[in-house]
Every structure is written in C-alpha cells, then in structure tokens.
Amino acid sequence: MRLHRLTLRNVRGVEERTVELSPGPDGSATGSGGTGGGNTGVVIVEGLNEAGKSTLSDALDVLLTYKDSSKHADVRSLQSTGRDDPPEIEAELQIGEHRLTYAKRYLKRTGTTLSITAPRGEQLDGDAAHERVDGLLADHLDVALWSSLRLRQAEGLAQAAPGDTRGLATALSGLSDVSAIGDRELTILEQAQSTYERYFTARAGAPKPLLRDADAKVAELTEALDRIDERRATLAADVDRADRLTRALPDLRTQVTEAAARAAEHETRRAEVTALAQEVDRLRGAEEQTTTALERLQERRARRTALIEELAEVERAQQERATALATVVAAQDRAGERLASARSALDAAQHRQQATRQARERAQQDLDHLTRQERAAALRARAERATAALERRREAEATCAEVRVDEAVLGRLRQAQNEVTRTEAALDAASPRVRFTANRDVRLVVDGEPIDLVPGEDAAWTVRDALTLGIADLGEVDVRAGAGSEDATDAHRRASEQLRAALDRAGVADLAAAEQSLRRREDAERTITEAERERQTALDGEGADELDEELDRLERASERYLAGRDGDHPLPDSIAAAQAALETATAEERRADDAVVDPTTEVEAARDALERERASVIELTTTSNEAARRLTAIGAELAEARAVDADDELDREVAAAERARSEARTAVAAAETALADADPAAVNQLADNAAAVAEDARARLHAAEQDLRDTRVRITALGGDGLWEQREALATELAHATTEQRGLHRRANAARLLRDTLERHRGQARDRYAAPLREQLVAYGRMLHGPGFDVELDDDLRVARRELDGTWLEIAQLSVGAREQLALLGRLACATLLGDHGGVLLFDDALGNTDPDRLERIGAVLRTAGQHTQVIVLTSYPDRYRHVGGARRVSL
C-alpha cells in the first residue's frame, strides 16, 4: 500500500490540511534502481509538538478502520475543537494495482465516497465503499501486522512480534522456496488445535472430563455389573441349596418314622420291667408291716415281764430300808448330846478371854496417858522460850523504827557538813577582815556587843555583810563587805540551810548525834537477829500456833481420860510401871486366847456329826415313800395290761406274728429274683438310646425344613428383583459405554496426533523462514554497527539476543538507545521483506535516544528500506533525519 495524499478537515485543531506524501524528486531519482520507482521512498513529516503529526496517523487509522456511522471513541477523539463542522478525512491511496481516492465524514452529515481510477474506473459510496476498501486491504496486506509494525513514540522500545501474524509468513513464503506458514495452513492448525482441546487441556495436554468421564463410567458400570453378578451367584447357590434340601426331605422323613417305631418297641419292654420292679416294692412293703406287728407284740411281752420283776425287787428293798432307819435315828440322838456338852466348854473359855482383853486394854491406856502428860510438859517449856524471844525482838524492832539515821542518811549529812565547811572557808576568804589592836584599854562595841580590850590585845572580825564597830566613845566604825563577798555569802547560806534541813529530816541535832543514833540502831538490829534465832530454836520447825494447839489437845485428852477412867484400879505412878503392867496383861490375854481353840473345834465336829445323822434319816424316809408310790403304780399298770390279754394269751399272739413275717420274706425274695432276671439296666439304656435316635432324626428333619423355608424366603426376596434383566441392562449399558469410550479415545488420539504433527511441522517451517528475516535484520544492523553485528530470534521472531563485536547480550541487557534501534530495524526488516504486501510504515518520532553518529547510519538504513516500502516518519526534530538521502520532507 502506498499513501499519496492525506487531507483532513475539521479534525481536532486542524481546520483543513493536505499533506502530500509521495516521495520527492530525490526519492524518485535514488529510487529508480529500486523496486517501485517514484512510488517508494521515505517521507519525513516535520512539525512542532502538537502540530498534528499524530493526528495524521490517527486519522488514517480511523479512515481505514471505522465506518462513517461509527461513534467509537477513536472516532470521537477526532472531533474538531471549537468548530461544529464534522471531521472529514480523505486519502489518496495505492493498494496493489488499485489507485483510489477514499473519503469519509464522521459524526454529522456522515458519508463515504470511493473513487477508483486504476486499473478500472469505479465509483462507490456508503458502506459499499467501506467494504470494497476492506476487501482490498484484506487482499493485499495484513492489517494486524501493519498495525504491529507501527512504532509510536510511547512504545519505541517494543519489538513487533511478526511470528504470530500471517502476513509476514505469507510474504516470506513467496520470497523463499521453503514451505511456509500460510494463512490457510495456520487456520488448519487452529482448527486442529481446537479439536484437540475438545479432548485435552491446551497447556498440560491432560485428558478433559469428556475422556475422564467416559473412563469413569466404564469403571463404574463394570463394578456395578460385578456386584449384581455376586448377588446372582448368591441366588444361584440358594436355588441349588433349596433343590438339594427338597430332594433330601423324603429320606429324612422316613428316618424319623423308622426311628420312632423302634423307640416305641423299646418303651413297651421298659414298661414291663417297671411293673416287675413295682411288684418287688409292694411285697417289701407287706414284709415291713408283718415285721412291725411282730415287734410291737414282742415289746408288750417284754414290758410285762419287766413289771413283774420290778414289783418283787421293790418290795424286798422296802423291807431292808425299814431296818436301816431304826439304826440311824438312834445315832442321831447321840450326836445331839455330844454337841450340847462341847458348847458349854466353849462358853467358859470365851468368858475368860474377854476379861483378859479388858485388863490389857486398860494397861495400854494408862501408859498412853502418862506418855501424853510427859510430852505436854516438854511442849510447854518450849512455848515459853519462844514467847520470851519474841518479846525481845519486838523491843529491838521498836528501837529501829524510832531511829531514822542509817548509813545512807549519815553519808548525806556528812556531805552537807562538808559543803558548809567549804563555803564558810570561801566566805572567809572573800570577806574583809578587821583587826583592831588596842593600844590601851578600850571598849569596843561590835554590832552592839561590847568587847573590852587591853593594850596589846587585838581583836579581829571577818565582815560578812556589815560590821558596826563602836570604839569606846570615840565613835563608830561602819565596815561593809564589798560586792565580791556576796556570792560566797549566798553559797554559805544555802549550804547551811541544806545541812539544817537534812538534820531535821534525820531527827538529830548535829552530825555527832547522828553518828550516835546510827550505832544505836545497829545494836537493835543485832538483837532482832539473835531473838529470832532463839525463837526458831524453841519452836523447832513448828509454828507457835501449832505448838499451842498440840499442847491444848494433849491437856484436854488427859482430862477426858482421867474423867472416864475406872477408879477400881489405881493409876500407875510412872511410865515404867505402866509399861510393866501392860506386859503382864498382854501375856494373860494370849493365854486366854489359846484356851478357846480346842472347845471351838469340838463344837464344830459335833455339829457335823449331828447333821450327817439327820441327813441319813431324811434320805431313808424319802426313798421309802417313793418306793411305796412305785409299788402302787406297778400294780395299776399290771392290772390294766392283764385286762387286755392274759400273760399266756400274749405268748400265743407273738408266735403267730413270727410265722406271718417269715412268709412275707419268702415272697419278696421270689419277686427280686424275677426282676434281676429281666436286666432292667440294659432295657433302660436301649430305650433311652432309641428315644435319642428318634429325637435326632426329628431334629435333622426339622433343621432341613427350616433351612428350606429360610432359603425359599431368600430366593423369593432376591428372585423377585428381576436380577437377570437388571444384569443384562447393566451389561448393555457397559457395552455401550465401552464402545463410546473406545470411540472417544480413538478420536482423541487422532486429534492429538494430528495436532502434534502439525504443530511440529509448523515449528520446523517457522525455524526455516526465520532465516530471511534475520538476514535482512542483520544486514540493516551491520549498516548501523558494522560487520560485528548479529542477532538471534525467538519463536515469535523477535530479537532475543544481540551480538556486537563478539559480545552476546540478552535484549533486556541492552541500552535504551540500542533497544529502540533494534525495534526500528526489526520493523524495517519486516516491512522490507513484505514490500508491496506491507502497508505504510509509519514511525512516530522513534529515535529520541540515539546518538548523532548513529543517526547518520540510520539515515542510510531508512533510505534502503524506503526503496522497498513507503516509510513515513513523523517528527518534531527534523534534524535527526537530515541524513536520510532522497527523502521527501513535508513541513506542517
């Protein structure tokens, strides 16, 4: 495609502008050796920013893309600023061999006109015109690739990815003899891929639910079929079992009947033996009765004999007892006499014993009395001593109480005395001394006191305060102590007052009296100690009161004793006499005591003897009475028994009973023999066994019948389910599922194989035709960078790595400038290869980061590319492109 002219009206800030884009005279001249003569070349459209360069590019896009009726944002973005008139775009284009003028008005009074002038004239308008141009574009170039090849300012670094678009592939396939990735082939691959994705996931190639579900359904149905077959097998086993049991039942019933018959036979025999045993029992009972009757008779006869014998014996014993009683009564009387004489002897001895005891007691009391009196005298002496000592002590204590001076008081008095002496000395020292020496006799009156002096005699005074000295009649001298003695005077006065007070408290006149008082007090205190010691000695550890009480008690006891004493006997005159009397009395008493022993013993013995004789009499009397009663009873019993049967009659009855028993014993023996001969143990065991056999047979029959019933119940339960048809239905479903699964897998495998094979060959093909693109890119690159330039392309035919003078770098490692150059070179290489199949290569100011030296070389590249395709560069910096030779320059 070639763009010859573009006219805009009322588009954004442009009121009307026509840009001629056919290459200029330079282009024509230089392009003469190229492919397209004057129709190829480079156009540099220059203008300041916002001059409308981008508007040109956008307007061309809108014209070729949107119908005039479109309200798309791209369309609305073209709306004029400030004018109401709708945007109009008109382009003069060459598409293939078609030369045309194409114009559209958008948004208001919309319209499209198309005028084709070559190869044949054609006029269209409206949607028909739009569709005609669409068709021409689709026929001659790949719009998507064209769009991707455009390089805008904002995306200057991005490379085009021609590997994904078809235009390049189609173009390349025409240029080389390699099998190519044509439009049609890519469509086929897409369809194969989409078929493949029906069965497998696009990326991992994992089976999709369609396949998995089919597999799962087969597995599920197989399992269900197995389950139902198991139930069928169970049912079949039960059917077999029921048939087997049904066949077995008649035989089991026969066994039951036969066993029952045999058991009945054995029961009859058992009954016979039982009858024999009962007969034996009955006869044994009869024999027992005869034995009992005989024993009763024998008993009666024995009893009668015993009575007769007892009667004789008792009578004889009664006679013997009468004789013995007479003897015993006589002995009893003798024993009574012996006891009486023994008692009187004992009474005499006891009387004498009493008298001696009283005498001994009196002697003892006399001795006690005398001893008591002696003790009372001693006590009295001690009490008197104690009383005297107490008296002394009390006197001394009174003295002590009277004297107030002790060692401490005396010490304090002495101290006060010393203080008075000391202050006095100090006062004397401080006081003026007046000495008067008489030259003649003279009378002095000192403080009113007259003193007469003789010549040569002197008198002196210490003036404590003031001294009035009258000297005869001469006058009076008044002496006064100075101020310096006042303190000493005070101190002396205070000491004197304190001494006086202390003496008053001690109750003494002076210190000497105090010392005397102290000595008196010490004497009294010693007396107290001595008197107390004396008193304690007299009391000898007892209290004075106790002593008095004891004495009082002793005296009262003596008085009482004397008052009560028998006066027939004189009181001994001494303690010794009393002791002698006591010893004599005690000996007398002991002798009297001894004399009582023998008579006492004799009394006891006599009494015992009497008791014995008396007991014998009682015993004999009692026994005799009992025997008499017994005799009466025996007589009565005998009479009663004999009334029933006489003695000889009883003997005959006994004999008859003995015979009857003998006969019964014989019958029992015969029956027992008959029973033993029948062998009852064997008969019972046989009968028991037969019964057990019959029971076993019944049990087996019962079990079989029960089993059969149970089995039939199970058969009915399972058999009614229509298991066969269920199984067949499942098997059918499984067969269908398996067929479907197999078909699915077959189709899936085919789809995968087709897709994999196509994909592989597409890859190989792309690898092959990547070569021309790379060659072209390298050719341009070497124009820019010299022979050390090379590149590697990736699957999308973008530059992956670049080599420069032996150094390979990943695209991301390159500088911004290098990347923008590579992006430009890639597009130019692509467009170069596309040639007429390409569109217009529009660059929107693409080389902002390229240094001036490179710009010159790029100029050469652009010029070369321009010989194959139309290149329009929109720039605000025309200077960047001054190195492009033969370019048409359009200034906006």
Helix (H) or strand (E) holding 239: helix 209-402
Rounded to a whole number of angstroms, the minimum distance from the CB of residue 247 to another protein is 10
Cα(892)–Cα(886) distance, rounded to whole angstroms? 19
Q: Are 838 and 2 in contact (CB under 8 A)?
A: no
Rounded to a whole number of angstroms, the minimum distance from the CB of residue 33 to another protein is 33
Q: Which is nearer to another protein, 224 or 778 (CB)?
A: 224
Q: How many CB atoms lie within 10 A of CB 262?
A: 16
Residue 492 has phi, psi (to 5 degrees) of: -65, -40
Q: What is the DSSP string of 872-889?
A: EEEES-GGGGTT-TT-EE
Which residues contact residue 250 at a Cβ distance below 8 angstroms, ignoring those fewer than 6 apart? none
Q: Look-up: residue for tokens 């010299």? A: 786
Q: Taking the mean position of all CA atoms in its chain, how far away is CA 884?
A: 90
Q: Which is nearer to another protein, 493 or 714 (CB)?
A: 714
Rounded to a whole number of angstroms, the minimum distance from the CB of residue 192 to another protein is 7
Helix (H) or strand (E) holding 890: strand 888-891
Write the CA distances from 596 to 15, 16, 448, 606, 883, integer angstroms: 189, 191, 123, 16, 189
Binding to another protein in span 681-710, by CB under 8 A:
none
Q: Which is nearer to another protein, 99 or 217 (CB)?
A: 217
Under rule CB under 8 A, residue 192 binds another protein: yes
For strand 122-125 and strand 111-118, is the pairing parallel, antiparallel, or unpaired? antiparallel
Q: Which is nearer to another protein, 31 or 162 (CB)?
A: 162
Rounded to a whole number of angstroms, the minimum distance from the CB of residue 736 to another protein is 6
Please identify which residue in 320, 725, 851, 853 interacts with another protein, judged by CB under 8 A. Answer: 725
Please identify which residue in 225, 693, 754, 804 interacts with another protein, judged by CB under 8 A. Answer: 754
How would you write 457-513 as a 3-class SS string? CEEEEECCCEEEEEECCCEEEEEECCHHHHHHHHHHHHHHHHHHHHHHHHCCCCHHH
| Structure tokens belonging to residue 138 | 């689709």
Q: Which is nearer to another protein, 178 or 276 (CB)?
A: 178
Binding to another protein in span 760-779, by CB under 8 A:
760-762, 764-765
Please identify which residue in 715, 778, 800, 860 interacts with another protein, judged by CB under 8 A. Answer: 715
Q: Which is nearer to another protein, 222 or 318 (CB)?
A: 222
Q: Which is nearer to another protein, 181 or 650 (CB)?
A: 181
Rounded to a whole number of angstroms, the minimum distance from the CB of residue 149 to another protein is 23
Binding to another protein in span 52-71, by CB under 8 A:
none
Rounded to a whole number of angstroms, the minimum distance from the CB of residue 66 to another protein is 33
Rounded to a whole number of angstroms, the minimum distance from the CB of residue 176 to another protein is 12
Q: Which is nearer to another protein, 179 or 462 (CB)?
A: 179
Strand ranges (DSSP E) for 21-120?
41-46, 88-95, 98-105, 111-118
| Structure tokens belonging to residue 759 | 């994909």
Rounded to a whole number of angstroms, the minimum distance from the CB of residue 249 to another protein is 13
Q: Which is nearer to another protein, 240 or 775 (CB)?
A: 240
Please identify which residue in 18, 35, 176, 191 interacts with another protein, judged by CB under 8 A. Answer: 191
Please identify which residue in 188, 383, 472, 779 interacts with another protein, judged by CB under 8 A. Answer: 188
Nearest to 116 by CA among 105, 108, 124: 124
Rounded to a whole number of angstroms, the minimum distance from the CB of residue 204 to another protein is 21
The amino acid sitting at 729 is A
Q: Which is nearer to another protein, 125 or 796 (CB)?
A: 796
Rounded to a whole number of angstroms, the minimum distance from the CB of residue 719 to another protein is 5
Under rule CB under 8 A, residue 208 binds another protein: no
Cα(609)–Cα(591) distance, rounded to whole angstroms? 30
Nearest to 615 by CA among 336, 341, 329: 329
Checking phi first, is residue 686 left (phi over 0); if not, alpha (psi -120 to 50) or beta?
alpha
Q: Which is nearer to another protein, 56 or 751 (CB)?
A: 751
Number of chain positions touching another protein (CB under 8 A): 54
| Structure tokens belonging to residue 148 | 């991707």
Find the part of the chain contacting another protein (CB under 8 A) among 334-342, 513-521, 579-587, 746-754.
746-754
The amino acid sitting at 677 is D
Cα(405)–Cα(508) distance, rounded to whole angstroms? 8
DSSP state, residue 35:
S
Site string for another protein, 167-186 (x = CB under 8 A): ------x-----xxxx-xx-
Site string for another protein, 574-613 (x = CB under 8 A): ----------------------------------------
| Structure tokens belonging to residue 481 | 């102590």
Find the part of the chain contacting another protein (CB under 8 A) among 65-73, 448-456, 557-565, 715-723.
715-723
Q: Are 436 and 470 in contact (CB under 8 A)?
A: no
Q: How many CB atoms lie within 10 A of CB 462?
A: 16
Rounded to a whole number of angstroms, the minimum distance from the CB of residue 234 to another protein is 11
Q: Are 675 and 274 in contact (CB under 8 A)?
A: no
Under rule CB under 8 A, residue 523 binds another protein: no
3-state secondary structure of 619: helix
Cα(80)–Cα(824) distance, rounded to whole angstroms? 32
Under rule CB under 8 A, residue 736 binds another protein: yes
Beta-bridged to residue 475, according to DSSP, are 471
Rounded to a whole number of angstroms, the minimum distance from the CB of residue 759 to another protein is 9
Site string for another protein, 117-156 (x = CB under 8 A): ----------------------------------------
Binding to another protein in span 219-258, by CB under 8 A:
232, 235-236, 238-243, 246
Please identify which residue in 662, 749, 815, 891 interacts with another protein, judged by CB under 8 A. Answer: 749
DSSP state, residue 679:
-
Which residues contact residue 775 at a Cβ distance below 8 angstroms, ignoring those fewer than 6 apart? none
Under rule CB under 8 A, residue 198 binds another protein: no
Cα(654)–Cα(295) distance, rounded to whole angstroms? 9
Please identify which residue in 309, 452, 721, 879 interacts with another protein, judged by CB under 8 A. Answer: 721
Rounded to a whole number of angstroms, the minimum distance from the CB of residue 730 to another protein is 10
Rounded to a whole number of angstroms, the minimum distance from the CB of residue 826 to another protein is 24
Please identify which residue in 22, 112, 290, 711 interacts with another protein, judged by CB under 8 A. Answer: 711
Please identify which residue in 136, 650, 758, 840 interacts with another protein, judged by CB under 8 A. Answer: 758
Q: Are 673 and 306 in contact (CB under 8 A)?
A: no
Cα(266)–Cα(264) distance, rounded to whole angstroms? 5
Q: Which is nearer to another protein, 97 or 725 (CB)?
A: 725
Cα(636)–Cα(568) distance, rounded to whole angstroms? 84
Please identify which residue in 412, 747, 882, 889 interacts with another protein, judged by CB under 8 A. Answer: 747
Rounded to a whole number of angstroms, the minimum distance from the CB of residue 254 to another protein is 21
Site residues (CB under 8 A) for another protein? 173, 179-182, 184-185, 188-189, 191-192, 195, 232, 235-236, 238-243, 246, 711-712, 715, 718-726, 728-729, 731-732, 735-736, 746-747, 749-751, 753-754, 757-758, 760-762, 764-765
